[in-house]
Each structure stands twice: as structure tokens, then as C-alpha cells.
């Protein structure tokens, strides 16, 4: 192996370790919240981010998967974002206030070079959209609207 390859692999190992250490230290200090409802758990395809309607004509739709252990994994076709999420239901059921969804401050992301520009664009949009506190509202059968700094339309994946 040449020096560049050794440096590259050491950098990847360091990055992976940093994400694992941060994730475990954050989970020890994170506040306890109620579990997300079954209606959130599962895989969702991302159909729109802000005003950009995503298309799967040449590349797959990005997917966000919410797990019942408060872990989230997202993928737009090349790299993966992962971390934790917090779902907070409205405090008063009579209020019209929406639920909120917060992703961990530092989502870990793999750093592979993606060969397709559309996938790269979708990944960048997805990472930006997951970087804020989001309100969660139902916007149709099997659809969620997430609103924060950015807007996302999610449609339930039927597996």
C-alpha cells in the first residue's frame, strides 16, 4: 500500500470511530421521551424536499426509515445518514398543534463518492432537510409532511 491509501483508510476508520463514540455519548445524556407511534415507524420514500419534486425515473427515491428504538437511517442511493430521532406528541390532544420530530445534532454520514449527480443532489437536500426540528402532520393517506427550515413530503413504503 502506498502512503495515500494508508492515510485514506486511517481517515475512514477515525471518522467511523468518532461517529460511534459521539452516538453512544449522546444517548447517555439524551432526555427520555415517549416512543414514536406505530404510524411513524417504518420506511418512507421522500417525494419532495422544499420545492424540488424528486423523481425515480433515473435514480431511486431517497428513503428514511424510522426504527422503534429511536434510530433513523436515510439513504438517497449512495451514502447513508444515520443517527437518533426524538418524536414529541402534542401535550394537549385538543390542541391543533402538530407533533415534532428532531434528529440528532450530528447525523453520521458515509462519505463515498457517488457517480450520479442527481443522487448527490438528493443526498445534499436530504442532509439539509434533516438538520432541523420538524413538525409532523399527516397530509393524506400514508403521507407525512415534515416542516422545519426545509419541507419534506414522505410517503409510506409498503413492503
Per-residue model confidence (pLDDT) at position 135: 92
All structural domains of the chain with their residue ranges: 1-30, 32-156
Q: What is the pTM of this model?
A: 0.74
Q: Kindly state the cell numbers that stand for 138.
A: 399527516
Question: 47-94: per-residue pLDDT in tens?
Answer: 999 999 887 778 889 999 999 999 999 999 999 999 999 999 887 665
pLDDT-based confidence at 44, cuts 50/70/90?
very high
Question: 109-139: per-residue pLDDT in tens?
Answer: 999 999 889 999 999 999 999 987 789 988 8
Any residues with CB less than 8 A from the CB of 45 and at least 6 apart, and which? 61, 62, 63, 154, 155, 157
CB 110 within 8 Å of CB 83: no
Report how far residue 100's alpha carbon sits from residue 79's, in angstroms, rounded to the nearest whole number: 26
Sign, Cα dihedral of 25, 134, 46, 115: negative
The owner of cell 470511530 is: 17
Which candidate, 73, 79, 70, 43, places its Cα nearest to that of 159? 43
CA dihedral 132, 75, 16, 124 (to 10 degrees): -50
Question: 2-36: per-residue pLDDT in tens?
Answer: 444 343 444 444 344 345 444 444 443 333 355 67
Q: Determine how many CB atoms are found less than 10 A away from the CB of residue 5.
A: 9
- Top CATH class of 32-156 equals mainly beta
Amino acid at each position: 500500500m502506498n502512503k495515500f491509501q494508508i492515510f485514506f483508510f486511517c481517515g475512514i476508520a477515525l471518522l467511523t470511530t468518532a461517529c460511534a463514540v459521539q452516538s453512544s455519548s449522546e444517548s447517555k445524556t439524551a432526555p427520555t421521551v415517549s416512543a414514536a407511534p406505530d404510524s411513524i415507524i417504518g420506511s418512507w420514500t421522500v417525494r419532495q424536499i422544499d420545492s424540488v419534486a424528486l423523481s425515480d425515473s433515473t435514480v431511486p427515491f431517497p428513503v428514511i426509515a424510522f426504527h422503534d428504538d429511536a434510530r433513523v437511517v436515510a439513504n438517497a442511493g449512495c451514502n447513508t445518514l444515520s443517527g437518533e430521532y426524538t418524536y414529541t406528541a402534542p401535550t394537549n390532544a385538543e390542541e391543533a398543534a402538530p407533533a415534532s420530530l428532531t434528529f440528532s445534532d450530528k447525523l453520521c454520514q458515509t462519505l463515498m463518492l457517488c457517480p450520479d449527480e442527481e443522487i448527490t443532489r438528493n443526498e445534499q437536500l436530504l442532509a439539509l432537510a434533516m438538520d432541523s426540528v420538524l413538525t409532523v402532520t399527516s397530509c393524506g393517506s400514508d403521507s407525512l409532511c415534515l416542516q422545519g427550515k426545509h419541507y419534506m413530503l414522505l410517503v409510506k413504503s409498503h413492503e
